[in-house]
Amino acid sequence: MNDYILGIDIGTTSVKAVLVSSEGEIVDSESAPHDLMSQYPNWAEEDAEVWWENTVNAVGRLCGRSPGEMNRVRCVGCSGMVPAIVMLDDKGGPVRNTIQQNDARALKQIKFVTETINQQQLFERTGGFTNQQHIIPRLLWVKENEPEAWARAKTVMGSYDYIVYKLTGVKSLEMNWAAESGCFDIYKREWIYEDLDKVGISPELLPQVNESMGIVGETLPVIGGLPAGIPVIAGSADHVASTFAAGIVNGGDLLIKFGGAGDILFCLDKIQTSRKLFFDYHIVPDKYLLNGCMAASGSLVKWFVNDIIECGDPDIFAQLDQKAGAVPAASEGLVVLPYFLGEKTPIFDPTARGVFFGLTLSHTKAHIFRAILECVIYGFRHHVDVLQEAGCVPKRIFATNGGAKSGIWRQIAADILGKPVCSYPSHPGSSLGVAFLAGKSVGVFREWDDIHMFLTDPQINMPDEKNVAIYNRSYGIYRDLYIQLTDSFKALQNIYNDK
């Protein structure tokens, strides 16, 4: 008789739940959409209570369709965005909206932390310098601007940690949330208490840090149809779970993740850090990841459809894909900079802005849509350049998550990167990865290579040499545009600050 595992992913644009079997079958999946909120420039927030409502709805629908299988679920795993910030009061309720990992509001606080904490020592212990992704500047922003919310906050955790808490009643943090927080020693695997003390952040806000596979509690009777008493693991950062779900366990493999944000992950056999990238622990023991993260990726596509052309047709993405496929490579001279939420790696510039360069009256929405797809891959290529400068040359390139289901986007990736791109469009990415991890923790899956049971129907996109040559020229313009506009971006930010 089969055993079953439940994986839940808290993404930028939706909650996804997947039920998998011990025989390597994706039995069923479900999703529930939600929106990123950007009320002011640089802001990126979501509602954690909506995440939980979506989790209840998505899992509840799975339970309704597969009640027998749900009664044989052996373990639950949750993944999500890192390091999103959820602040809870003494009763476990959110005190405000979440502050997402791609939020860039805390410019003043970044400057303060940079001047207060020795940055070279910070890099030597965390693998990074203070930036918009780190939790301390964003927490200080709340402390300084929302003192009432700060006074009520008793616990700080991440997106998937919050769902684990709602499922089990246990407050915890997973290792990679800590590793990307900017105040965790990645070698000693402990908080840097003296840095927290310097900036006035109490370590009591931070729950216990657990290994990804560690079981932190058991399900409570909080979702109809999901039995109580099922073990729940600490979980995984979504990009790490996606990396594993693509079968990436060998040094030199590279993943490009087409999520709401864009992730680029390079697998390592030993710890290596970069001044232009983040560091993560792989969920596979003794493997590590250099991690690039673009603040906006798939969210740009959703913004264009929802806010610019204002189309609610469920087939709109397929229609736009088809029209974009008829537009020549490089969108007939249109180049977009994807910095709509500032940018994290590799430029670490929260003042950067989105740009449409080269627009003419001959350009259509198909040109603009294609140029948006292209700019995300230009950002991926920028990260590949950084990796190669550090001696990390990709041997194989894989693509996962929602955008990887788009044939035109995968082909653009192969053409801009100039290498074959392998994807598995039929599997659900992060939710599959964390489901397997949960199964591994309770012995449902024995070997890490068992993930290949799920990796069926691979799609290989080969680069078109003609398009490669065109994109090489357009990519040079893309890189040059940011350099030329850097001072202008800062001037724009100063205008906003003066209001």
- Indicate the burial class of 181 (C-beta count within 10 angstroms; 0-12, 13-18, 19 or more): buried
In angstroms, the CA 312 to CA 27 distance is: 29
pLDDT tens per residue across span 288-311: 999 999 989 998 999 999 999 999
Residue burial 227-244, b: 16+ Cβ < 10 Å; e: rest: eeebbbbbbbbbbbbbbb
| 8 Å CB contact between 243 and 289 | yes
Q: Which residue has the tokens 């709401």?
A: 260
Confidence of residue 498 (pLDDT cuts 50, 70, 90): low
Average pLDDT over residues 215-234: 98
Q: Are the folds of 4-238 and 247-423+464-499 the same? A: yes
Superfamily of the domain at 247-423+464-499: ATPase, nucleotide binding domain (3.30.420.40)
Quote the strand ranges of 295-361, DSSP E: 335-338, 354-357
Helix (H, G, I), strand (E, B) or coil at 272: coil
Q: Is the model's pLDDT at 420 over the cut of 70?
A: yes
Confidence of residue 336 (pLDDT cuts 50, 70, 90): very high
Roughly what angle, to the nearest 10 degrees, separates helices 107-116 and 135-145? 120
Structure tokens at 456: 């069926």
Write the single-letter amino acid at 121.
Answer: Q
Q: Is the model's pLDDT at 58 over the cut of 60?
A: yes
In angstroms, the CA 14 to CA 339 distance is: 22
pLDDT tens per residue across span 254-289: 999 888 889 999 999 999 999 999 999 999 999 999
pLDDT tens per residue across span 111-149: 999 999 999 999 999 999 999 999 999 999 999 999 999
* Average pLDDT of the chain to the nearest whole number: 95
Structure tokens at 340: 């709509």
Average pLDDT over residues 219-234: 97
Write the single-letter amino acid at 293.
Answer: C
In angstroms, the CA 257 to CA 239 distance is: 7
pLDDT at 111: 96
Roughly what angle, to the nearest 10 degrees, separates helices 48-65 and 159-168? 60
DSSP state of 208: -
| 8 Å CB contact between 17 and 83 | no
Write the single-letter amino acid at 72.
Answer: R
CB-CB neighbours of 477 under 10 Å: 14
Domain map of the chain by residue range? 4-238, 247-423+464-499
Architecture of domain 4-238: 2-Layer Sandwich (3.30)
Average pLDDT over residues 225-237: 97
Q: Is the model's pLDDT at 499 over the cut of 70?
A: no
Nearest-CA neighbor of 257 among 430, 128, 131?
A: 430
- Indicate the burial class of 315 (C-beta count within 10 angstroms; 0-12, 13-18, 19 or more): exposed
In angstroms, the CA 414 to CA 460 distance is: 9
Structure tokens at 285: 């023991």
Average pLDDT over residues 452-481: 96
Average pLDDT over residues 320-345: 96
pLDDT at 174: 98
CB-CB neighbours of 393 under 10 Å: 11
pLDDT at 13: 86
CB-CB neighbours of 221 under 10 Å: 9
pLDDT tens per residue across span 351-377: 999 999 999 999 999 999 999 999 999
Quote the strand ranges of 178-309, DSSP E: 184-185, 190-191, 209-210, 215-218, 231-233, 236-237, 253-258, 262-268, 278-281, 288-294
Q: What's the Rg (C-alpha) of the chain?
A: 22
Confidence of residue 107 (pLDDT cuts 50, 70, 90): very high
pLDDT tens per residue across span 32-46: 999 889 999 889 999
- 13 vs 178, more confident: 178
> Vertex 80, ends 79 and 86: CA angle to 5°?
120
In angstroms, the CA 240 to CA 178 distance is: 14
Confidence of residue 467 (pLDDT cuts 50, 70, 90): very high
Write the single-letter amino acid at 459.
Answer: Q
Q: Is the model's pLDDT at 427 over the cut of 80?
A: no
Confidence of residue 425 (pLDDT cuts 50, 70, 90): confident
Average pLDDT over residues 181-196: 97
